[in-house]
């Protein structure tokens, strides 16, 4: 007998197949869950054109709260000086607009929620634990929230980068716990999904029995895969090993670090570094390349499509990702899926992802010490192709085992049934 599909209301204010970072993650997670449940997605009207253009047959209800979202976005952009930095300011400015969004959800769906039209409600975006839920305490059916990701402090050795990121307001972060609806959000949740330990530690109100460990990141196997890739550690047609940095060129990601490594090492100058991305640090990076005469071994590739990124991952040996405050690190999972050997900073998500021999994590330290640490790790990699290949294989197996969007959708459906049946949730932890 076929099990009846569950009816799920998904809250996803950020949900857009064309917008990077959180919006596309929210869209892909919702789409994956919809493969297993009868899903209704409640999202903001700003996402309508791109979702409808994707034409994937999802049931979506668009809510318009532009009366408050638009002016608050403009104010946040002015305070931040754009959209690249000052993330904490952005979160603070989103508090009222997000409450307005959930209030609109309650107005639109109250009757259906009270009449048994849904089996449960799952809020998948926003993913910051600092933005509470307006409706969690109103529901008579189970409410799930997450995966959540946040609460990663700035390393003390990188105060200059914190200043360039305009993150002075970070010191006020914990005040969110005293805002309206913050307590009821977590007291009323049937399950709280947390991406990594740094976020779990923030949610002291939630007992372990209601917490599920699950990274929010995922990947598309049709795009990120190792088919046709040369094994990590093997030399290319030019007899060089190729390394890749992929990400925004912003201070906290330390995009200049791999350039400094190549500048410091005659060994590495005999190989090649490719840098994907754009951002405010690009000028400083170009000056570094010119100052050290690295034009022949360092290439700034600019921004690329996902398909182009994946293809370059398959043609390179290792990912160099020194970000010092990385909450999710989706690029690391994508690189793993492509069979790359990953060298990362041992802090936040990247360090957790490459644990157990899936890559190499360099300890956080002042910049010059980190440059030395990454330089040594890169030089070791160049001389140890078998090690690179083994790490790449373990990372690939790890990504394929649980982090494709299809598997995450199936995991969500199984978790829903466990919640409704009152089962223990410990067995649903990723890892």
pLDDT for position 45: 97
Structural domain harbouring 318: 242-402
Parts of the chain with a pLDDT under 50: 1-2
pLDDT tens digits for 347-370?
Answer: 989 999 999 999 999 999 999 999
Residues 193 and 66 in one domain: yes
Residue 236 lies in a domain: no
Q: How many domains does the chain have?
A: 2
Q: Evaluate whether residue 237 is within a structural domain.
A: no
Residues 412 and 393 in one domain: no
Would residue 174 count as lying in a domain?
A: yes
Residues 167 and 22 in one domain: yes
Whether 1 is covered by a domain: the verdict is: no
- Examine residue 380 and state whether it is found in any structural domain, yes or no: yes
For residue 99, give the CATH number of its domain.
Answer: 3.40.50.2000
* Same-domain status, 158 and 78: yes
Q: Which two tokens stand for residue 405?
A: 């969007």
Q: What is the pLDDT of residue 173?
A: 66
Question: Is 84 part of any domain?
Answer: yes
**Does the global pTM surpass 0.75?**
yes
363 burial level (CB within 10 Å; 0-12, 13-18, 19+): exposed
- Whether 2 maps to a domain, the answer reads no
359 and 421 housed in the same domain: no
How confident is the model over 163-211, as pLDDT tens digits? 666 666 666 667 778 889 999 999 999 999 999 888 898 899 999 999 9
Q: Is 90 helix (H, G, I), strand (E, B) or coil?
A: helix
DSSP 349-379: HHHHHTTTTTSEEEPP--HHHHHHHHHHHHH
Instruction: Indicate whether 134 and 148 sit together in one domain.
Output: yes
74 lies in the same domain as 122 = yes
């Amino acid at each position: 007998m076929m099990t009846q599909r569950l009816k799920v209301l998904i809250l996803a204010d950020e949900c857009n197949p064309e917008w990077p970072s959180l919006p596309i993650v929210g869209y892909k997670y919702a789409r994956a869950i919809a493969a297993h449940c009868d899903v209704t997605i409640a999202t903001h009207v700003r996402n309508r054109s791109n979702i409808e253009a994707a034409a994937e047959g999802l049931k979506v209800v668009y809510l318009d709260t532009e009366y408050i979202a638009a002016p608050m976005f403009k104010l946040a952009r002015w305070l931040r000086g754009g959209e690249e930095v000052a993330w904490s300011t952005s979160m603070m400015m989103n508090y009222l607009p997000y409450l307005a969004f959930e209030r609109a959800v309650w107005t639109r769906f109250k009757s259906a929620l009270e009449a048994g039209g849904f089996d449960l409600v799952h809020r998948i975006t926003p993913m910051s634990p600092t933005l509470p839920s307006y409706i969690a305490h109103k529901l008579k059916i189970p409410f799930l929230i997450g995966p959540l990701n946040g609460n990663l402090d700035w390393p003390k050795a990188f105060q200059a980068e914190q200043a360039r990121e305009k993150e002075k307001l970070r010191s006020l972060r914990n005040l969110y716990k005293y805002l309206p609806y913050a307590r009821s959000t977590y007291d009323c949740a049937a399950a709280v999904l947390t991406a990594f330990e740094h976020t779990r530690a923030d949610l002291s109100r939630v007992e372990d029995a209601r917490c599920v460990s699950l990274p929010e990141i995922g990947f598309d196997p049709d795009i990120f895969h190792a088919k046709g890739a040369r094994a990590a550690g093997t030399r290319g047609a030019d007899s060089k090993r190729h390394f890749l940095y992929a990400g925004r060129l912003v201070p906290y990601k330390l995009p200049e670090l791999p350039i400094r490594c190549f500048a410091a090492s005659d060994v590495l100058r005999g190989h090649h570094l490719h840098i994907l991305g754009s951002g405010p640090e690009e000028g400083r990076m170009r000056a570094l390349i010119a100052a050290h005469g690295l034009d022949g071994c360092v290439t700034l590739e600019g921004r690329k499509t996902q398909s182009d990124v994946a293809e370059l991952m398959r043609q390179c040996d290792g990912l160099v990702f020194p970000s010092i405050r990385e909450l999710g690190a989706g690029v690391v999972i994508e690189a793993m899926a492509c069979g790359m050997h990953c060298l990362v900073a041992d802090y936040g998500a990247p360090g957790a992802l490459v644990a157990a021999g899936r890559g190499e994590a360099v300890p956080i330290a002042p910049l010059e010490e980190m440059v030395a640490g990454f330089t040594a790790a890169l030089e070791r990699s160049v001389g140890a192709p078998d090690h690179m290949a083994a790490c790449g294989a373990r990372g690939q197996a790890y990504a394929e085992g649980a982090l494709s969007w299809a598997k995450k959708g199936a995991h969500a459906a199984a978790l829903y049934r466990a919640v409704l049946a009152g089962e223990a949730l410990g067995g649903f932890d990723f890892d």
